[in-house]
Amino acid sequence: MLAREGGVVFASQYRAGTRGQACTTGQGTNIMHQWASQTCALQGHNYSYMLGIYYPHITLGTTT
């Protein structure tokens, strides 16, 4: 999948973070945190919810 913002592929980051981080840690920063995303998953949220938290202005698509 490609992450696009305004039709352009954009830079994003994935960091370890700190154990026990809140689900919304890094919200809207284009930086997803491993421990925060685990918290989201344990709360029952799916990947599309998590991507919406960290990368709120993206559109997901597939490559051809």
pLDDT of residue 45: 94
DSSP state string for 33-63:
EHHHHHHHHHTT--HHHHHHHHSTT-EEE--
Average pLDDT over the chain, rounded to an integer? 80
45 touches 27 (CB < 8 A): no
Which run of H or of E encompasses 13? strand 13-15
The model's pTM is: 0.68
- Label residue 2 by pLDDT band (50, 70, 90): low
DSSP state of 64: -
User: Hunting for tokens 């949220």 — which residue is that?
Assistant: 45
Q: Mind listing the pLDDT tens digit for each residue in 22-47?
A: 887 777 777 788 888 899 999 999 98
Residue type for position 47:
Y
